[in-house]
């Protein structure tokens, strides 16, 4: 036996009221633009066969090599808690042969992701992502739609101190030549073993290395944007044209590479200036090889993942008030058993009528009950004492002014509904 209290695992946290309202507001605001643009909601399991992620996220990534929560189930299958949401959506897209229907297939989801990371501000082992994908069509206008929807979500929250970083990573026709040039360049640098190994699997990832001693050597590195084929360049130009048409501004980021190995062409990230080291609030891009890597048809896709927790930190950093008034509209304070039955009925009817209402539970006494009424956020309360009941009334009380009027019991529901529902 131990008398130590149990705590949430390292790198995880609980979201409790009233802060949880802000969490919900971020989640809702980031997903609303997707619904308006015809994206359909999907749920997939929080765990998948490990291969979904080792193939779908990429063997060279930190996520796959160091951060996955992988375990054998009792049937001896290797399963992994999802470290991100794209691979699972793609697995579902392939399994259910969604590519045989109308294209593009537009999907979104939101939920938990798990990575065994070194916890710090904005970096957790359990976090929440909003994820969207537009699959089956390679059209620069679709890339622009996706990016613009991401921007919209942040704007709708009122965020202003964020920046859209944008680049193109080319495709299977121009990337191999560029890759050779980059490998030749990297070979001449002073890099540690780990980085060399990573460079062998995906040399582009070295460009994104945050360590100053690595960055210092990359000033003259060849950049993908300077080696795009005519087709890739035309694609990227078109994306930028559409983005301009949509009123989106961005910063060119030729060294941007992202966690997934399969990104091609349009690639982007959203960074916020108020967050310190973990500044990325979301990111995404086009991935032409992902479906095939997961054993699916050769279709392209584009999508993004936004970090709900980090976006909430950004909202706090900008001091934004994003929560609509919380609490209930009406509160009922009964004194005595008979009044309590009336209160329970009244609260039930109000809720059925779409009005948020609450009452006290347990024996609180008048003082405790009035305190609960004040804390509830309600503008009005009904207080039903024994003497009131004997007279067939309840007291309708304006909790802000303290003004009180006697209302016949049979009129209480309507009066309360009409007063707080205005």
| Residue 174 within binding range of ligand AMP, rule CB under 6 A | no
User: Which of residues 162 and 236 has its CB atom nearest to ligand AMP in the complex?
Assistant: 162
For strand 105-114 and strand 40-41, is the pairing parallel, antiparallel, or unpaired?
parallel
Task: Kindly state the DSSP code that residue 5 receives in the 8-state scheme.
Answer: P
Q: State the virtual CA torsion across 343, 345, 349, 350 in degrees, nearest 10.
A: 10
| Residue 133 within binding range of ligand AMP, rule CB under 6 A | no
Part of the chain binding ligand AMP (CB under 6 A), chosen from 103-111, 122-130, 139-147, 348-356:
122-130
Output the CA–CA distances (angstroms, integers) from residue 102 to 98, 99, 132, in the order listed. Answer: 8, 7, 17
Q: Which of 54, 55, 84, 105 binds ligand AMP (CB under 6 A)?
A: 84
User: Which of residues 309 and 358 has its CB atom nearest to ligand AMP in the complex?
Assistant: 309
Binding to ligand AMP in span 101-120, by CB under 6 A: 115, 117
Q: By three-state DSSP, how is residue 45 classified?
A: coil
Q: How far is the CB of 306 from ligand AMP (least distance, A)?
A: 6
| Residue 280 within binding range of ligand AMP, rule CB under 6 A | yes
Q: Is 352 annotated as a binding residue?
A: no
User: Which of residues 167 and 359 has its CB atom nearest to ligand AMP in the complex?
Assistant: 167
Q: How far is the CB of 302 from ligand AMP (least distance, A)?
A: 14
Alpha helices (H) in 97-251, listed in sequence order? 140-156, 175-187, 193-201, 204-207, 212-215, 230-245
Q: Which of 68, 281, 355, 369 binds ligand AMP (CB under 6 A)?
A: 281
Part of the chain binding ligand AMP (CB under 6 A), chosen from 39-47, 160-168, 206-214, 304-312:
304-312
| Residue 64 within binding range of ligand AMP, rule CB under 6 A | no
Q: By three-state DSSP, how is residue 397 classified?
A: strand
Q: Is 329 annotated as a binding residue?
A: no
Burial class (CB in 10 A: 0-12, 13-18, 19+), 396: buried
Dist CA 4 CA 79 (whole Å): 32
Output the CA–CA distances (angstroms, integers) from residue 402 to 26, 160, 330, 376, 392, in the order listed. Answer: 35, 41, 14, 15, 21
**Would you give the binding string for ligand AMP spanning residues 249-278, x where CB under 6 A is met?**
---------xx-------------------
| Residue 152 within binding range of ligand AMP, rule CB under 6 A | no
Helix axes 19-36, 308-317, angle to 10 degrees: 110
Q: How far is the CB of 278 from ligand AMP (least distance, A)?
A: 7
Part of the chain binding ligand AMP (CB under 6 A), chosen from 24-32, 124-132, 195-203, 295-303:
124-132
Q: How far is the CB of 73 from ligand AMP (least distance, A)?
A: 24
Give the number of residues in contact with ligand AMP, rule: CB under 6 A: 18
Q: Are the C-beta atoms of 86 and 56 separated by less than 8 Å?
A: yes
Residue 281 dihedral angles phi and psi, to the nearest 5°: -100, -10
Task: Kindly state the DSSP code that residue 342 receives in the 8-state scheme.
Answer: H
**Would you give the binding string for ligand AMP spanning residues 212-241, x where CB under 6 A is met?**
------------------------------
Alpha helices (H) in 37-107, listed in sequence order? 50-56, 62-66, 86-95
Q: Is 152 annotated as a binding residue?
A: no
The DSSP result for 179-224, as a single string, is HHHHHHHHHTS---HHHHHHHHH-THHHHT---HHHHTT-TT---G
Binding to ligand AMP in span 310-339, by CB under 6 A: 310
User: Which of residues 107 and 346 has its CB atom nearest to ligand AMP in the complex?
Assistant: 107
Tell me which residue of 140, 131, 137 sits closest to 101, measured CA to CA: 137
| Residue 307 within binding range of ligand AMP, rule CB under 6 A | yes
The DSSP result for 306-333, as a single string, is EEHHHHHHHHHHTT---PPP-S-SEEEE
Q: Which of 132, 147, 305, 313 binds ligand AMP (CB under 6 A)?
A: 305
User: Which of residues 140 and 283 has its CB atom nearest to ligand AMP in the complex?
Assistant: 283
User: Which of residues 153 and 307 has its CB atom nearest to ligand AMP in the complex?
Assistant: 307
Q: Is 86 annotated as a binding residue?
A: yes
| Residue 127 within binding range of ligand AMP, rule CB under 6 A | yes
User: Which of residues 46 and 103 has its CB atom nearest to ligand AMP in the complex?
Assistant: 46
Tell me which residue of 88, 34, 48 sits closest to 96, measured CA to CA: 88
User: Which of residues 198 and 310 has its CB atom nearest to ligand AMP in the complex?
Assistant: 310
Tell me how long the chain is. Answer: 422
Kindly list the residues in this chain that would bind ligand AMP in the complex (CB under 6 A). Answer: 84, 115, 117, 122-124, 127, 129, 258-259, 280-283, 305, 307, 309-310
- Provide the annotated binding site for L-histidine: 84-86, 115, 129, 133, 258, 262-263
């Amino acid at each position: 036996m131990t008398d130590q209290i149990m705590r949430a695992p390292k790198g995880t946290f609980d979201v409790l009221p009233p802060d949880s309202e802000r969490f919900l507001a971020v989640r809702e605001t980031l997903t609303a633009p997707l619904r308006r643009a015809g994206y359909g909601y999907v749920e997939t399991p929080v765990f998948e066969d490990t291969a979904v992620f080792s193939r779908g996220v990429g063997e060279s990534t930190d996520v796959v090599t160091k951060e996955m929560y992988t375990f054998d189930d009792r049937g001896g299958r290797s399963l992994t808690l999802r470290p991100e949401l794209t691979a699972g959506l793609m697995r579902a897209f392939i399994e259910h042969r969604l590519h045989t229907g109308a294209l593009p297939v537009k999907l979104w989801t939101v939920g938990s992701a798990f990575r065994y990371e070194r916890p710090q501000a904005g970096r957790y082992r359990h976090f929440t992502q909003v994820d969207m994908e537009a699959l089956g069509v390679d059209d620069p206008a679709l890339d622009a739609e996706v990016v613009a929807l991401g921007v919209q979500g942040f704007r709708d929250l009122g965020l202003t101190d964020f920046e859209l970083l944008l680049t193109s990573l080319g495709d299977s026709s121009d990337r191999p030549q560029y890759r050779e040039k980059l490998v030749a360049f990297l070979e001449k640098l002073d890099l540690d073993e780990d980085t060399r190994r990573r460079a062998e699997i995906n040399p582009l990832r070295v460009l994104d290395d945050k360590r100053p001693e690595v960055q210092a050597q990359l000033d003259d590195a060849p950049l993908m944007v300077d080696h795009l084929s005519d087709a890739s360049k035309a694609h990227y130009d078109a994306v930028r044209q559409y983005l301009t048409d949509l009123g989106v501004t961005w910063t060119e980021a030729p060294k941007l590479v992202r966690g997934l190995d399969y990104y091609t062409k349009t690639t982007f990230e959203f960074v916020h200036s108020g967050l310190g080291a973990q500044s990325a609030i979301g990111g995404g891009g086009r991935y032409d090889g992902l479906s095939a890597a997961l054993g699916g048809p050769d279709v392209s896709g584009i999508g993004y993942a936004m970090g709900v927790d980090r976006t909430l930190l950004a909202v706090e950093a900008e001091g934004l008030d994003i929560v609509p008034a919380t609490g209930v509209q009406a509160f009922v304070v009964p004194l005595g058993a008979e009044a309590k039955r009336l209160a329970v009925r009244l609260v039930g009817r109000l809720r059925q009528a779409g009005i948020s209402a609450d009452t006290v539970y347990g024996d609180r006494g008048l003082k405790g009950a009035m305190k609960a009424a004040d804390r509830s956020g309600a503008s009005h309360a009904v207080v039903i004492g024994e003497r009131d009941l004997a007279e067939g009334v309840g007291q309708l009380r304006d909790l802000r002014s303290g003004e009180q009027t006697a209302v016949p019991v049979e009129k209480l529901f309507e009066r309360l509904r009409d007063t707080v529902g205005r």
